[in-house]
Amino acid sequence: MTSLESLALARGTVDRVTHRRNNTQWLDAAWADPRTRVLVVSDGRALVRFDDDEHVELVFSAPAEAPAGVRFLLGQDADGVVYFGVSGDLPAAAPAAAAGTVRAAWLREVGAMLGDRDAGLFTHAVALANWHDTHTHCPLDGTPTIPDPGGHSTRCPVDGTEHFPRTDPAVIMLVTDPDDRCLLARNAAWPGRRVSILAGFVEPGESAEQAVIREVAEETQIKVTNVRYVGSQPWPMPRSLMLGFRAEAPAGQAIAVDREEIAEAHWFSRDELLAAIQAREIALPPPVSIARHIIEDWFGGPLPSTWPETLAPRPS
Ligand SMILES: [Zn+2]
């Protein structure tokens, strides 16, 4: 019954051309092509142009202008233009004669404002840059690893082991009770009014559905059934894949939060949720999040935005 469309970070128009990643001749020719565009990522941020009419787009560098750093192939568009990412220092100056304001921005800040092409490129580039930045040595013997030509894996020059980007699966779930009210909780680490649906990481040796049941029980003591998948989007901050679910809570259960991870949790009818948002008693996650989409899918339409758009990254 449920499907999620237009998730902010699950978009993209550029073909990843995975068969090119180990073709050094092709990669070198692409890097020498002046049409090629490079997205520089530095600690999760890239240069973004904000036009006066609120049009938002990525600012690319030419290969010759790209900083030193690990290079990785992002893909090729329908016009044959090749895109690379580089993890390195952001170019200092905005390109001359460009309209609007150019500044460094986080993916979580602009992911929902970018077009499909740029949202996909930024998400892909941040995920790979985060991995390269934090996985620089062989886990077996500590030797510095060498990226493959396309930058999508690394190899240890001593023992020859190959290493691939890591993605951590996390489940995020909207739980409803027999009156079709939804369960929203406030994480103890979040600022005052923010609430969301429950979420947690999938543990080793566990299915996503098992993780949904376990996390809801751990955080609220509610036992759920009818767990069903509704959609996913990458959340490379630093390396998650968010797997969205719906689940049902049979009648006769009381919420009990641990007060360490979850400060409070409550059932909301649609009318109660809308009234609480309009009264500014609570704030929902921003549109870039899958949580927002799952909540609005249950609600039946868009909900007012009250979340302040100062989205500094949280360590998580
Ligand atoms: Zn090694």
The pLDDT-based confidence of 225 (bands split at 50, 70, 90) is very high
Is the pLDDT assigned to residue 147 strictly greater than 80? yes
Q: Tens of pLDDT along 61-85? A: 999 999 999 999 999 999 999 999 9
CA of 129 to the centre of ligand 1 (A): 21
- Pinpoint the alpha helices (H) of the chain: 24-32, 107-110, 116-134, 208-220, 270-278, 290-299
Q: At what angle do helices 290-299 and 270-278 cross, to 10 degrees?
A: 120
CA of 130 to the centre of ligand 1 (A): 21
CA of 132 to the centre of ligand 1 (A): 16
Q: Which run of H or E residues covers position 114?
A: none
CA of 166 to the centre of ligand 1 (A): 17
CA of 147 to the centre of ligand 1 (A): 13
Is the pLDDT assigned to residue 162 strictly greater than 80? yes
Q: Tens of pLDDT along 236-254? A: 999 999 999 999 999 999 9
What pLDDT is stored for residue 192 in this prediction? 77
Q: For the whole model, what pTM was predicted?
A: 0.92
My answer on whether omega of the bond before 238 falls inside 30° of 0, hence cis, is yes
CA of 155 to the centre of ligand 1 (A): 8
- Pinpoint the alpha helices (H) of 157-246: 208-220
Is the pLDDT assigned to residue 93 strictly greater than 80? no
Largest CA distance in the chain: 66
Is the pLDDT assigned to residue 53 strictly greater than 90? no
The pLDDT-based confidence of 271 (bands split at 50, 70, 90) is very high
Q: Tens of pLDDT along 296-316? A: 999 999 999 875 533 333 433
CA of 87 to the centre of ligand 1 (A): 23
